[in-house]
């Protein structure tokens, strides 16, 4: 976790993100800045679908895409929409530690059994779905994946400011990832 930059004061926010919606996002979440009123989204928050994360920010402040592993590869139309129609110029990519998409193949049997028992699926169909989709969603580790996703999105959207970040489930705080 040595690549993480903690934010416990406004001065800890990297200069590139101070006085931007990304800096504001961290101020709201980590520093309990009083919530301002917004009528238009200021940023896109791309984050994992994990249920252990609760984000503190104002209503109307952000478009939020929650996808497994913070993998926006298959949500790119929605990213483009938030930029083209919503007018956002900032993206906060928020991975988290202890992500279920890391080493996803170790959960193969649990996944199949869960679809059979909980959803009434046929075991073969459940296995086919896992084998088809797991390679698209598995990530090696959270930090490296968020950094690679930031790099990929920067090449697709060169005018957009993109911040790679990590949410630690132990302390419910957001950290910048050092690049």
Confidence (pLDDT) at 27: 98
Query: Is the Cβ–Cβ distance between 7 and 174 less than 8 Å?
Result: yes
Phi-psi region of 106 (alpha: psi -120 to 50; beta: other; left: phi over 0): alpha
Instruction: Tell me where in the chain the CATH 3.40.1050.10 domain(s) lie.
Output: 4-100+140-177
- The CATH architecture assigned to 4-100+140-177 reads 3-Layer(aba) Sandwich (3.40)
**Alpha-carbon span 179 to 172, nearest angstrom:** 22
Low-confidence residues of the chain: pLDDT under 50:
none
Confidence (pLDDT) at 1: 55
């Amino acid at each position: 976790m040595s690549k993480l930059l903690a934010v416990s004061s406004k001065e800890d926010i990297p200069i590139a993100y101070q006085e931007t919606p990304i800096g504001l996002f961290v101020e709201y979440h980590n520093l309990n800045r009083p919530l301002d009123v917004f009528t238009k989204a200021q940023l896109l928050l791309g984050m994992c679908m994990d249920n252990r994360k609760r984000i503190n920010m104002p209503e109307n402040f952000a478009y939020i895409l929650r996808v497994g592993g913070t993998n926006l590869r298959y949500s790119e139309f929605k990213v483009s929409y938030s930029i083209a129609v919503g007018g956002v110029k900032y993206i906060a990519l928020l991975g988290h530690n202890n992500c279920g998409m890391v080493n996803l193949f170790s959960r193969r049997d649990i996944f199949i059994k869960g679809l059979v028992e909980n959803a009434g699926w046929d075991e073969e169909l459940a296995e086919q779905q896992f084998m088809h989709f797991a390679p698209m969603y598995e990530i090696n580790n959270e930090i490296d994946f968020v950094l690679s996703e930031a790099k990929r999105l920067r090449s697709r959207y060169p005018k957009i400011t993109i911040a790679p970040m990590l949410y630690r489930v132990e302390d419910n705080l957001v950290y910048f990832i050092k690049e």
